[in-house]
Structure 1
Amino acid sequence: MKTLVITGAARQKGHTNQMVKLFLDTLGGDYDIIDAYRVENVAPCKDCRYCWHKKGCSIKDGMQEIYDKLEAADNIVLASPMYFHSITGKMKALIDRFQVYWAGHVRNDMPEKPVRKGAILMVGGAPSFPNQFLGGELVLKNLLNDLSAEFLGEVCLPNSDHDSLETRPDIAQEVKELAEKMKAANKAE
């Protein structure tokens, strides 16, 4: 079982990456982590529409390696803190380069059913409020869909300016349960 994690967390030892670590420790298997803040040699999408006609990108850069890792993955985990009601800008810029997969709708070569499993982890500094994670959820769920990943669930940690996985063992338990769900879904295939 191979998992690709894409994280948009600026702080390497922050709450988002702590959630990722707990998830991966519970899930097991091989994994690659793509850190949007530290990835090198990846240009932004230029909307050239090359991918509308060919399954590939006209920009030949570090994203090619990320595409290869995605193709090899059984699971996709997307993790981001909320910056002004959505995922971080660095993560969004990286996600835009997955336009190649969305364009499968235009090329008519999207898989008929999901070919991998997907999960979302999000962190918000503010105290919990309605729709706190909605902006990130919309972007990340749609990305999983375009990457032909079956959405298995999400875990959100609100109030991270004051709380953590240590002070919120209920959230830590949700992370573990989502990882176990992903593990079971892979074994069922």
Structure 2
Amino acid sequence: MKTLVIIGAARPNGHTRKMVDLFLENLDGEKEIIDAYRTDVKPCMDCRYCWKTKACVIKDGMQDIYQKIEEADNILLASPMYFHSITGRMKALIDRFQVYWAGHVRGDMPEKPLRKGAILMVGGAPAFENQFLGGELVLKNLLNDLSAQCLGQVCLPNSDRDSLETRPDIAEAVVALAKKMNDAE
């Protein structure tokens, strides 16, 4: 089992990374992390090249990421929430996955999921209704376009005051989600 993690956190040792690390400690198989803040990926130009060919005209670090997606059995997406959605660097990276969405236009989208997926999100504010909805919509739709069945998501609200140490319920949910991915093979 090979898991590809795409993380969109600016702070390399922040709450999002700690959730990812806990998830990976409880996950079997090979694991690789792509850090959106440390990639050489240009933004999508909406040139629509991918509408005819399952490839991107921009040749940069994304070519390697496309290959890693193709080889992955699982995909974990993790991001803090900035103004009610994922971070800008994560979004810029996601926009380049237009190649996969364009399968709807090209007519070559797989009929059923090829891999499993999961989502981790962190919000600094105290919990409020729909706090993670913007990120959830983007990330669940991305998993769908990457032909990944979403097995679930875990969210840590109030991270300005709380952490996995003060919220053992959240830590347990992260571990449970990793185990669910292990069992989903």
What secondary structure does 1:174 align onto?
Answer: helix
Amino acid in structure 2 at the alignment position of 1:175? V
What secondary structure does 1:3 align onto?
Answer: strand
Aligned to 1:7: 7
- Distance of 1:113 and 1:50 partners within structure 2: 25
Aligned to 1:139: 138
Question: How far has the Cα of 1:34 moved from its partner?
Answer: 0.7
What secondary structure does 2:38 align onto?
Answer: coil
Higher mean C-alpha deviation, range 25-34 or range 158-167: 25-34
- Distance of 1:62 and 1:80 partners within structure 2: 20
Tell me the alpha carbon deviations over residues 40-92 of structure 1, each in whole angstroms, 9 at most, x when there is no partner.
2x111000000000010111111000000000000000000000000000000
Once the two structures are superposed, the pairs formed by residues 131-170 of structure 1 within 5 Å of their partners are 131-170=130-169
Question: How far has the Cα of 1:138 moved from its partner?
Answer: 0.3
- Distance of 2:34 and 2:44 partners within structure 1: 17
Amino acid in structure 1 at the alignment position of 2:130? N
Work out the number of aligned pairs and report it.
185
Amino acid in structure 2 at the alignment position of 1:25? E
Aligned to 1:90: 89
- Distance of 1:90 and 1:54 partners within structure 2: 25
TM-score (norm 1): 0.97
Tell me the alpha carbon deviations over residues 1-25 of structure 1, each in whole angstroms, 9 at most, x when there is no partner.
0000000000000000000000001
Amino acid in structure 2 at the alignment position of 1:119? A
- Distance of 1:18 and 1:61 partners within structure 2: 29
Aligned to 1:181: 180
- Distance of 1:89 and 1:44 partners within structure 2: 11
- Distance of 1:35 and 1:43 partners within structure 2: 14
- Distance of 1:90 and 1:43 partners within structure 2: 10
- Distance of 1:49 and 1:32 partners within structure 2: 29
Pairwise CA RMSD: 0.5
- Distance of 1:18 and 1:168 partners within structure 2: 13
Aligned to 1:66: 65
Aligned to 1:38: 38
- Distance of 2:156 and 2:168 partners within structure 1: 11
Which structure 2 segments of 5+ residues have no match? none
User: Share of identical aligned residues, percent?
Assistant: 77
Question: How far has the Cα of 1:28 moved from its partner?
Answer: 2.4
